[in-house]
Amino acid sequence: MFTNDTLKGRTALVTGGGSGIGLEIATAYARLGASVMIVGRNEERLQAAAEGLAREGGPVQTRKCDVRNYDEVKQAVEATVGRFGSLDILVNSAAGNFVCPTSELSPNGWRTVIDIDLNGTFYGCHAAYPHLKASTHGGSIISIITMLGVTGWPGAAHAASAKGGILSLSRTLAVEWGGDGIRVNTISPGPIGDTEGVRRMYIEAGKGDLEAQKTALGRFGRKEDIANAAVYLASDLGNYVTGENLIVDGGRWLKYVAN
Ligand code: COA
């Protein structure tokens, strides 16, 4: 759908790029000409992902990194620039979550998810800033959130709060860093059928049809739907878009509000 040179000459760093939506975005970027660094906590998963990415053509690099650790994030950013010469696109896709009633959630459980999702995103943005500012294409930050961070997410107060915080952080940075030529956006995926999370939480729990019917389109999305949105926002196609939350949820949020 996009031409092969849509992201030619750009370098992207994708956190959580070893699996799921992060890997799908990294794959689309590599296919469209970008050099890609994927980071994550699991080295084996990163290696397997890199082998698949290499088949897409673009140069690929991996690095073990826990986004809860600012120094590791900064080193990953520096390694990206050291290897590819620039950093133009940051995708914050690393996330952690589990379902737990808030009354039973331990302070450490709360802190763990806030650390991965919200603090990890801040660390990425902060470490990448000088390089994104120097990008000849104009820097682009894309963070993966969910509209459950806006509506509230019973059973996942930590993740809801983190995702809501990322939305606010992104809008803030869009204004603060707009003058530096950096665009800052979020994507809110709906239920994506070919992800581990939806498989585990809905399909294997026998709630697949019920959850699909909660969307206006009556079906789950696919990872490539999110990757296409991430290409649009990272490329010149989205050149005047900043501070936006692109909702790619098959109308789930709207149906929730309308009903
Ligand atoms: N229910 C309640 N509390 C939980 C929990 C659950 N299912 N999973 C973790 N916690 C709590 C732990 O009990 C611990 O708190 P404590 O010290 O008070 O007992 C705290 O969270 C940290 O847990 P730990 O397992 O040490 O953290 P971790 O860094 O190894 O992993 C996650 C944290 C979020 C990544 C992990 O829960 C996980 O693997 N989740 C599933 C995978 C995932 O999140 N994928 C992304 C989907 S968006």
Q: Tens-of-pLDDT digits for all 259 residues of the chain?
A: 899 899 999 999 999 999 999 999 999 999 999 999 999 999 999 999 999 998 887 799 999 999 999 999 999 999 999 999 999 999 999 999 999 999 999 999 999 999 999 999 999 999 999 999 999 999 999 999 999 999 999 999 999 999 999 999 999 999 999 999 999 999 999 999 999 889 988 999 999 999 999 999 999 999 999 999 999 999 999 999 999 999 999 999 999 999 8
SS3 32: coil
- C-beta of 82 in contact with ligand 1 (< 6 A): no
SS3 85: coil
- C-beta of 98 in contact with ligand 1 (< 6 A): yes
pLDDT at 240: 98
Structural domains for the chain: 11-258 (3.40.50.720)
DSSP designation for 221:
B
pLDDT at 14: 98
Give residue for tokens 């050291």.
82
The alpha carbon dihedral of 27, 214, 144, 232 has a sign of positive
Among protein residues, the one whose CA lies closest to atom 43 of ligand 1: 96
- C-beta of 95 in contact with ligand 1 (< 6 A): yes
160-165-18-7 Cα dihedral, nearest 10 degrees? 130
pLDDT at 18: 97
pLDDT at 56: 84
Q: What are phi and psi of 183, to 5 degrees?
A: -100, 140
DSSP designation for 137:
S
- Residue 67 CA, chain-centre distance (Å), reads 13
- Whole-number Å distance, alpha carbon 113 to ligand 1 midpoint, is 8
Q: Are 188 and 219 in contact (CB under 8 A)?
A: no
pLDDT at 80: 98
Among protein residues, the one whose CA lies closest to atom 32 of ligand 1: 96
pLDDT at 246: 98
Distances, alpha carbon 187 to alpha carbons 43, 156, 199, 232, in Å: 26, 19, 20, 11
Q: Which residues are registered as beta bridge partners of 140?
A: 89, 183
- Whole-number Å distance, alpha carbon 18 to ligand 1 midpoint, is 19
At 70, list the tokens. Answer: 């600012």
Q: Which atom of ligand 1 is nearest to the CA of 110?
A: 21
- Whole-number Å distance, alpha carbon 84 to ligand 1 midpoint, is 34
- C-beta of 19 in contact with ligand 1 (< 6 A): no
- C-beta of 96 in contact with ligand 1 (< 6 A): yes
User: Considering the entire predicted model, what is its pTM?
Assistant: 0.96
SS3 150: helix
Task: For residue 106, count CB atoms less than 10 angstroms from its CB and return exposed for 0-12, middle for 13-18, buried for 19 or more.
Answer: exposed
- Whole-number Å distance, alpha carbon 138 to ligand 1 midpoint, is 36
- Whole-number Å distance, alpha carbon 228 to ligand 1 midpoint, is 30
